[in-house]
Structures are given as structure tokens and as C-alpha cells.
């Protein structure tokens, strides 16, 4: 089940909210636990037991780590817990990728494992790992109630598409959280805006991306349309889901941390990754980069640490070489900025630094979307006419006219311009009065798109 579906919007969510607010306070977490497992069952019926098994392991290891705190046994149990959690992730997500490459490099014929990737396994695995590591470091109290731990891990607003919510972020909220009409209203507002980003911008631009990939009439203009549309689609899809998750969290009394902060206005790649998928980049920083030594080591080891983090970041997004290349691409750029490029960027006019970031990020998403090295090189080369493609074609002109308005809306929406305008004192008064009307209008338009069976991909199957 996905958020942008009729089943979720008009059956599942209203039913859960009604039951949640009817039952007494002591039963609210239990309602969330049952509804979260039901939510996951709709999408992955055979893997709901896998998630339950993973949660049970995490609970047992967490109790053992806490019991033997400050002894070698605690470290041993943490290592065993990491091996178990990462082992399951590797088996379900990376086994066939490893087999494919072993067969290729060593000329073996190992049979593939026919197993589907459980939705959201990368997200909930990282959440369980952060909990266990924080318990070991005594930065979080061990959760002695397995049902409360299970509710944290399986909480449906962030289960399949993030953000990666750390236990320490909502540790107190699991026991005590406030429910107010204001918070609920803000949650509904955030959810509708996120749904609109997903359905009205990401999905529409996704149609153009799919049309380009199926086309044989290429031109420089068409390559640029594809590159810009893919870049905007990924942002509005990812950030839209994060908005919906944060909004749903508020409806149930939770406060999740922000996951995107207008990354396309960044002035450097370093700045971009402070704004893009914040929960993921901060997770790798705190649980991989810093434990490896961070930048408090020799320069060689420091550069090694950066490349390890970005190799893992690439692999986290999917079991394919394009994701590995994508991660290493950012790793190299970040190293260059830290060594010397960053100082040069600070001297550039803001417009040029923005162009630098946007161009490299656009190239990165051509790598991200590429199914093969040949396709990646072709799409990047097509931007400058390599391969003898013409400047324009009838098809590219048609799609430019058809999608121009959506692209402009996407470009403006990826900046804080609209937010700044709406928050102007005189505009804000009018906006507050009209807000219920335009939010209802957005919900109705989104619903019509979904009912019409419009293009509605779920990009998180690979995660």
C-alpha cells in the first residue's frame, strides 16, 4: 500500500485515525502497532514475518547489550546484532548482485536466488541498527517493552519511504506525546502538500521520463528535457513522501525531523548533502564516518573514510553498478571540495555556484537512472550532441510545449520563493483565509489523478 492510493487515502488512513482517537491513551501505541503491521501486510504479506523476526532479534540483542553494559559481552552482542541485521539485508537485497559479479569475474555459474526485495528493508534495518548502537553507547535507554519497540520500527508513516527516524528522536514521544487540533491540522496540511508534490509534479514529470526512455527520436533538447525532468521528479517524489510521513506523524502526535531543505539552492555539493535526504546522510555520518575516524585522522585515512561512506551510500540505494558509480561520483566531488574546490566556490558569484551544483546533480541523476554504463554515457553525451543527434526534433518540441508549465512549477517549487511570498505579512493573512479551500482543491485534484489511473510509480521498491 502506498500513500498515493485510494485505498490508503479513503479507507485505511481514516479508519486508523478514527480508532486511534477513540481508544484511551494506553491503547494508542497498540493501535499504531497493529495498523502498521496491517499496512505492511497489504504490500508485503509474506515478508511481514521477516520484519517481526528482525524486530524480535533487535529487542533481544538490545536487552543483552543493556544487561552487560560496559563489558566485552555488550560489544560482542552488538557485533552479533549488526551481523544478523546486515546479513538479512545483504541476503535479500544484494545476494544476486554479488552472484552476478562473481559469475562474471571468476567465470563461475552460481545459480541466482529467486527472492523478492522486501519493501522498506533498508529503512527499517537502519532504524534498528541506530537503536542498538545508541543503546550500546548509552545515548538511548533500552526499550523493555517489545511492543513499543515494534511500534517504533514498523510505524507506517515512515516505514517504507523514510525518513530514517532514530529511536532517540522519538524515544520520549513513544511514552508521551501531545495531540492538539493545531498539530493535527498542520499534519493534514503537510500531508496534502506532500501528496501534491508526488502526484501533480513527480508523477507527471515521471511520464515524460518514461516517454523519453521509450523514444527513438532523440535530440539535444530532448536529452535536456529528460535530464531536468528526472532531476525534478526524484526530488519531488522523495521530498513529497517525506512531507507525507512528517504530516502523518503529526496527525498521530509525533514530531519527525526534516528530511529535505531546498537542496537545489545549495552553493556546493557539500551544502547539497546537508539539505538532501538529511536523515540518510546524517546516519552515515554518525554511524559510519565518525566511527571510522572521520577527519580526525591522517589525510589518507580521512579520504578513505569519505569514499567508504559514499560507496555504502550508493549501494544503499540499490544493488546495481549505477548506484555504486553514483555514490563514488559524489564521494570524489566532496573530496575535491574539501581539498581545494570549496574555497574556490566561496569566491564565485552565487549564481555560478548554483549552476555548478545543479549541473553536477543533474549529471548524478543521469547516472542514478541509468540501466547500463552505455546508457549513462549516451544520456550525458546527448546533452552536448555527441552521437550526431540534432539540436531539436518534432517530438522534443511537442513535449517541451506539453510539459513546460509543470517544469516551471517544479523549478519554482524547488526553491523557497513561493514559501517566502506566502509568508509576506499582507499575503499571509489572505493565504490563511484561503488555505482550507486550496488544500481541499489540491486533495480533490490529486484524487482525480489517482482515480483516473494516472502514472503513479513507487520509486522505493529498490530500497
Residue-wise pLDDT tens for the chain (463 aa)? 789 899 999 999 999 999 999 999 999 999 999 999 999 998 888 899 999 999 999 999 999 999 999 899 999 999 999 999 999 999 999 998 888 888 888 887 888 888 888 889 999 999 999 999 999 999 999 999 999 999 999 999 999 887 999 999 999 999 899 999 999 999 999 999 999 999 999 999 999 999 999 988 899 999 999 999 999 999 999 999 999 999 999 999 999 999 999 999 999 999 999 999 999 999 999 999 999 999 989 999 999 999 999 999 999 999 999 999 999 999 999 999 999 988 898 888 999 999 999 999 999 999 999 888 899 999 999 999 998 899 999 999 999 999 999 999 999 999 999 888 888 888 888 888 888 999 999 999 999 999 887 666 766 555 5
Residues 6+ apart with CB under 8 A from 243: 190, 191, 193, 194, 197
| pLDDT value for 442 | 94
Instruction: Give residue 453's pLDDT.
Output: 72
Please count the other Cβ atoms lying within 10 Å of the Cβ belonging to residue 402: 13
Of the candidates 278, 181, 197, the one whose C-alpha atom is nearest the C-alpha of residue 232 is 197
Tell me how far apart the alpha carbons of residues 207 and 294 are, in angstroms, rounded to a whole number: 41
| pTM summary value | 0.93
C-alpha cell at 127: 532504524
C-alpha pair distances (Å), 153 with each of 33, 54, 58, 221: 9, 10, 10, 45
Catalytic residue check, 317: yes
Query: Can you give the pLDDT at residue 302?
Result: 94
Instruction: Give me the pLDDT at residue 162, please.
Output: 78
CA–CA distance, 252 with 77 (Å, rounded to integer): 34
Distances in Å between the Cα of 438 and the Cα atoms of 63, 205, 232, 359 are 49, 22, 23, 34
The 8-class DSSP code of residue 158 comes to G
Give the torsion through C-alpha atoms of 159, 369, 263, 432, to 10 deg. -60
pLDDT (0 to 100) of residue 461: 57
pLDDT confidence of residue 63: 97
CB 40, CB 154: distance < 8 Å: yes
Q: Which three cell numbers stand for residue 249?
A: 506523524
Which of these is catalytic: 108, 277, 317, 354?
Answer: 317
**419-430 burial: b if 16+ Cβ within 10 Å, else e:** eeeeeeeeeeee
Query: How much is the pLDDT for 203?
Result: 94
Amino acid at each position: 500500500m502506498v500513500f498515493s492510493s485510494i485505498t490508503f487515502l479513503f479507507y485505511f488512513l481514516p479508519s486508523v485515525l478514527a480508532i486511534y482517537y477513540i481508544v484511551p491513551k494506553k491503547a494508542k501505541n497498540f493501535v499504531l502497532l497493529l495498523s502498521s503491521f496491517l499496512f505492511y501486510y497489504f504490500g508485503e504479506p509474506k515478508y511481514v514475518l521477516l520484519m517481526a523476526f528482525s524486530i524480535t532479534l533487535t529487542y533481544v540483542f538490545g536487552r543483552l547489550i543493556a544487561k552487560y553494559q560496559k563489558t566485552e559481552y555488550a560489544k560482542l552482542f552488538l557485533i552479533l546484532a549488526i551481523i544478523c541485521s546486515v546479513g538479512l539485508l545483504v541476503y535479500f537485497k544484494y545476494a544476486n548482485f554479488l552472484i552476478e559479479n562473481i559469475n562474471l569475474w571468476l567465470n563461475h555459474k552460481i545459480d541466482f536466488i529467486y527472492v523478492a526485495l522486501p519493501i522498506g528493508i533498508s529503512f527499517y534495518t537502519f532504524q534498528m541498527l541506530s537503536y542498538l548502537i545508541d543503546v550500546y553507547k548509552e545515548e538511548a535507554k533500552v526499550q523493555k517493552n517489545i511492543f513499543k519497540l515494534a511500534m517504533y520500527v514498523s510505524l507506517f508513516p515512515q516505514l517504507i519511504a523514510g525518513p530514517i527516524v532514530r529511536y532517540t528522536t522519538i524515544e520520549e514521544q513513544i511514552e508521551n506525546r501531545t495531540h492538539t487540533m493545531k498539530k493535527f491540522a498542520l499534519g493534514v496540511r503537510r500531508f496534502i502538500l506532500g501528496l501534491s508534490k508526488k502526484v501533480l509534479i513527480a508523477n507527471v514529470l515521471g511520464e515524460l521520463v518514461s516517454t523519453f526512455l521509450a523514444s527513438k527520436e532523440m535530440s539535444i533538447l530532448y536529452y535536456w528535457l529528460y535530464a531536468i525532468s528526472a532531476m525534478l521528479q526524484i526530488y519531488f517524489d522523495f521530498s513529497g513522501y517525506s512531507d507525507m510521513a512528517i504530516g502523518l506523524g503529526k496527525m498521530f502526535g509525533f514530531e519527525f525531523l526534516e528530511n529535505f531543505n531546498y537542496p537545489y539552492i545549495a552553493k556546493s555539493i557539500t551544502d547539497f548533502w546537508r539539505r538532501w535526504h538529511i536523515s540518510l546522510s546524517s546516519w552515515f555520518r554518525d554511524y559510519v564516518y565518525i566511527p571510522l575516524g572521520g577527519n580526525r585522522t591522517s589525510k589518507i585515512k580521512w579520504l578513505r573514510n569519505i569514499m567508504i561512506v559514499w560507496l555504502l551510500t550508493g549501494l544503499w540505494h540499490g544493488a546495481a553498478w549505477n548506484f555504486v558509480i553514483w555514490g563514488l561520483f559524489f564521494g570524489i566531488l566532496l573530496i575535491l571540495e574539501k581539498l581545494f574546490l570549496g574555497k574556490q566556490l566561496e569566491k564565485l558569484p552565487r549564481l555560478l555556484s548554483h549552476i555548478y551544483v545543479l549541473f553536477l546533480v543533474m549529471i548524478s541523476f543521469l547516472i542514478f537512472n541509468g540501466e547500463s554504463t552505455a546508457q549513462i554515457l549516451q544520456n550525458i553525451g546527448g546533452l552536448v550532441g555527441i552521437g550526431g543527434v540534432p539540436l531539436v526534433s518534432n517530438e522534443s518540441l511537442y513535449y517541451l510545449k506539453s510539459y513546460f508549465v509543470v517544469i516551471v512549477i517544479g523549478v519554482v517549487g524547488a526553491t523557497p520563493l513561493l514559501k517566502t511570498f506566502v509568508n509576506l505579512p499582507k499575503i499571509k493573512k489572505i493565504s490563511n483565509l484561503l488555505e482550507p479551500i486550496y488544500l481541499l482543491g489540491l486533495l480533490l485534484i490529486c484524487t482525480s489523478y489517482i482515480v483516473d489511473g494516472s502514472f503513479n510509480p513507487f520509486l522505493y521498491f529498490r530500497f
